[in-house]
Structure 1
Amino acid sequence: MAVNVLIVDNSEVIRAVLREAISEEFQVVAEAEDGAEAIDVAETAAIDVVIMDLVMPGVDGIEATATIKELHPDVKVIFCTSVTQQERMQPAIEAGADGYVTKPFEHSTIQNAIRDVLP
């Protein structure tokens, strides 16, 4: 079964690294540079997993996660955040996050995080 992934990060460099890591095993179907764009994509694209940055301009990852989970409760959201932002993970979990990984990361870390949230 193909797993469709949405990558959300305001850094093109991070999106490229995530795309490379994820596409080794899963299907990257879309990318977004902020939470508002991620919500727009989630309204129309078939997505199984979202890799979400926590801190972004405009709509942040927590707000975007809450909205995406309202639209599609079965979509899994994995936060990809820096170590210094770990204290903000409790609000992310309350918004519906299913997991998180810290930056910097190995390809296998992202792949394992996706596998961990799948049924």
Structure 2
Amino acid sequence: MANKILIVDDAAFMRMMIKDILTKNGYEVVAEASDGAQAVEKYQELRPDLVTMDITMPEVDGISALKQIKQMDPNARVIMCSAMGQQAMVIDAIQAGAKDFIVKPFQADRVIEAIQKALS
């Protein structure tokens, strides 16, 4: 059975890129969200196997959403997506319970490696 993944990013282009990488590698993208508030709602509703979460988003940022999801489900698997130069935020995210992080622009092999590691 394919692992179910929720993609969270405020940029539709980034969601499309990561969805493309995931579907080509046999993962099922069950939903997409464009901000942290939507991410928390969709997580609650769908309970995906893994979430890819952008750090910088309007309304609710990725780290706040990560903390809310981890409160709801301590076993949630979340991989943060960050642009270069967000090291401090990446450290915050890992401390808040993120399994890994991938840097934009996405490299397909790094995305798949992070997801396989988080799911194993």
TM surpasses 0.5:
yes
Q: State the SS of the aligned residue for 1:83.
A: coil
Native 8 Å contact 2:82 2:90 kept in 1: no
Which aligned runs of 4 or more in structure 1 are off by greater than 6 angstroms? none
Q: What residue number does 1:30 align with?
A: 31
Q: What residue number does 2:43 align with?
A: 42
Q: What residue number does 2:63 align with?
A: 62
Q: State the SS of the aligned residue for 2:86.
A: helix
Gaps of 5+ in 2: none
Aligned ranges for residues 63-82 of structure 1 at < 5 Å?
A: 63-82=64-83
Offset, 1:46: 2.9
Native 8 Å contact 1:9 1:33 kept in 2: yes
The alignment's TM-score, normalised by the length of structure 1, stands at 0.95
Could you tell me how far apart the structure 2 residues matched to 1:18 and 1:86 are?
21
Gaps of 5+ in 1: none
Native 8 Å contact 1:76 1:98 kept in 2: yes
Offset, 1:96: 1.1
The alignment's TM-score, normalised by the length of structure 2, stands at 0.94
Residue correspondences, number: 119
Offset, 1:23: 1.0
Q: Root-mean-square deviation (CA), in Å?
A: 1.0
Q: Percent identity?
A: 39
